[in-house]
Amino acid sequence: MAALMQEDITTVAALVQTTQDLGALLRKLLRETGGGAVTYRDVAKRTGWSHATCGNYLNGRTLASRDRFAVLVDLCDIPPRLRRDLLAARDRVEDLRRGHQPAGAQIRSADSRSEILAATCERSTEIAEVTLTSSGSEVLAWLDGAVRELATSYVRESAEPILERLATVHLAAVNLVHAKLSRVHTRRLYFYAGLTGYLLASASHDRGDTATALRQAEAAFAFAQRAEHPGLCALIRNIQSLTAFWAGRYEEALRYANAGVAFSAHTAGIMSVLLPLRAARVLAHTHQVSSAQQALRRADLRWHRLVTDDVDDLLGYDDTNVGPARLSYVAEVYMALPKDGQALRAGEHHAHAAAEGFADPSRPGWSYDRAAISHIYLSMARLGLGDPDGAAAAIAPVFTLESEKRTLDITSILGRYQRTLRQHKAGAVLDGRIRELLTS
């Protein structure tokens, strides 16, 4: 069998999730190895089964037993490696039918079984259509577009609307890793598996599920290492640091941040700037002021050498729109330092500039959570500087956030703000508004 044909079949096998996918794959295999159209009666004569049974297997109405599926595969002249790939695809379908889904696949619990099955069928059909007649390069191009769309939607609209599709694309990339494609293709597949794994870890973090977020991030990090991509490794260390921080595990958060800084030394992307700021916030929060200020200076030096990489590109950042994100992170550091006038003024300055930078939702790289966090820190700084009216105006946009956009970061920062408000007589109204938001 031609090498290109083997690659196509292996690619499709790695993406199979339903009996319909499996039937389509069998038909393609029989057609391409049999020299043309193969009827159910032809298959029935060669197997000794009824033509109706063969039709059910090949149409995807019935899942053949493992022994019978092996008989169907053996009707074709294929190498042992490809035979193993096909049997693995069949076993995956059986596991999914029994509900033994891989970690991250079953993310919605409220939907009815029929809705989940319908959504899964639609996604599987989409993937099957892409791969049935595509080469490895074309599948990678499809994955690139899908991941780009998902990453951009996540940053702009939250994870909730895209979770099922994100899980499907992640599993597609993971399955394709085992498809024995070229080394260049496989490295890129590891990259997509790592990036989508990072997004799943971020979604778990947003929901406050620390344990799942850290497990998903560790798996994503393993993929990033196999992809040999320091920028992606740095990005995943960033979410690990953030997750550990809000879990109160500050030493772990600092360790992850510093590990990410080490990876970012090999890239000039946005993480080379943001990870020193992540470390600086942990240091400031744990009262290591001079170390936090040193980290701030390191971040400033990296800022002047910034050159966005392919991770930044997929997340929607470029050289012109990373500024507001950086300003928001800097504001976080200053608001974690001891609240003297200098730190509050610096926090107010950077948070105000970040909020202005995020004022236009149509701007590329716009992020709803960074916009909200910038407004919260701006309000905190203004209150500390004795401007309660300015504080109320700054935080007003946050009160309109939909419930699915109230991520752990936002609610945790609001909780800390509440404790500050109780020390200010002028903060009673804002305290009440925040309490309503957090309990609604």
Residues 5 and 100 in one domain: yes
Residues 147 and 98 in one domain: no
> What is the count of structural domains for the chain?
2
Over residues 1-30, mean pLDDT: 71
Confidence check: pLDDT of 61 > 90: no
Q: Which domain range does residue 45 map to?
A: 1-104
Residue 118 lies in a domain: no
> Lowest-confidence range among 206-210, 329-333, 422-426?
422-426
Burial class (CB in 10 A: 0-12, 13-18, 19+), 419: exposed
Confidence check: pLDDT of 401 > 60: yes
Residues 23 and 99 in one domain: yes
CA distance linking residue 219 with residue 134, whole number of Å: 28
Which of 228, 262, 287 marks a domain boundary? 228
**Of 314, 312, 309, 348, whose CA–CA distance to 328 is shortest?**
348
SS3 218: helix
Residue 84 lies in a domain: yes
> Lowest-confidence range among 212-226, 311-325, 337-351?
311-325
Confidence check: pLDDT of 172 > 60: yes
- Predicted confidence band at 428 (pLDDT cuts at 50, 70, 90)? confident
Residues 208 and 155 in one domain: yes
Residues 97 and 15 in one domain: yes
* pLDDT per position as a tens digit, 182-235: 788 889 999 999 999 999 999 999 999 999 999 999 999 999 999 999 999 999
**Is the pTM higher than 0.85?**
no
If one compares 212 and 5, the residue with the highest pLDDT of the two is 212
Residues 217 and 139 in one domain: yes
Residue 269 lies in a domain: no
- Predicted confidence band at 105 (pLDDT cuts at 50, 70, 90)? very low
DSSP state of 152: H
Question: Which tokens sit at 67?
Answer: 């022994």
Over residues 95-103, mean pLDDT: 58
Q: What is the pLDDT of residue 331?
A: 97
Residue 112 lies in a domain: no
Please tell me the number of Cα atoms within 13 Å of 335 on its side-chain side. 31
* pLDDT per position as a tens digit, 229-273: 999 999 999 999 999 999 999 999 999 999 999 998 777 788 999
Which of 228, 247, 276 marks a domain boundary? 228
H and E: helices and strands count for the chain = 22, 0
Confidence check: pLDDT of 32 > 80: no
402 CB contacts (<8 Å, ≥6 apart)? 158
Over residues 340-366, mean pLDDT: 92
Q: What is the pLDDT of residue 2?
A: 46
If one compares 116 and 157, the residue with the highest pLDDT of the two is 157
If one compares 416 and 138, the residue with the highest pLDDT of the two is 416
Q: Do you know the residue count of the chain?
A: 440
Q: What is the pLDDT of residue 127?
A: 58
Residues 5 and 90 in one domain: yes
Residue 355 lies in a domain: no
Confidence check: pLDDT of 322 > 90: no
Confidence check: pLDDT of 34 > 70: no
- Predicted confidence band at 88 (pLDDT cuts at 50, 70, 90)? confident
* pLDDT per position as a tens digit, 119-137: 555 555 655 555 555 566 7
Question: Which tokens sit at 223?
Answer: 């993929």
- Predicted confidence band at 352 (pLDDT cuts at 50, 70, 90)? very high
- Predicted confidence band at 111 (pLDDT cuts at 50, 70, 90)? very low
Which domain CATH number covers 1? 1.10.260
Task: Return left, alpha or beta for 349; rule: phi > 0 is left, psi -120 to 50 is alpha, else beta.
Answer: alpha
The alpha helices in 207-322, defined as continuous H runs, are 210-226, 230-246, 250-264, 271-285, 289-303, 310-315
430 CB contacts (<8 Å, ≥6 apart)? 379, 383, 388, 391, 392, 395, 417, 421
Q: What is the pLDDT of residue 106?
A: 42
Residues 64 and 153 in one domain: no
Residues 82 and 162 in one domain: no
Residue 384 lies in a domain: no
**Of 360, 243, 364, whose CA–CA distance to 308 is shortest?**
364
Residue 80 lies in a domain: yes
Instruction: Specify the residue for token string 């099957």.
Output: 128
Residue 69 lies in a domain: yes
- How high is the mean pLDDT of the chain? 84
In one-letter notation, the amino acid at residue 386 is G
Which of 228, 248, 266 marks a domain boundary? 228
DSSP state of 425: G
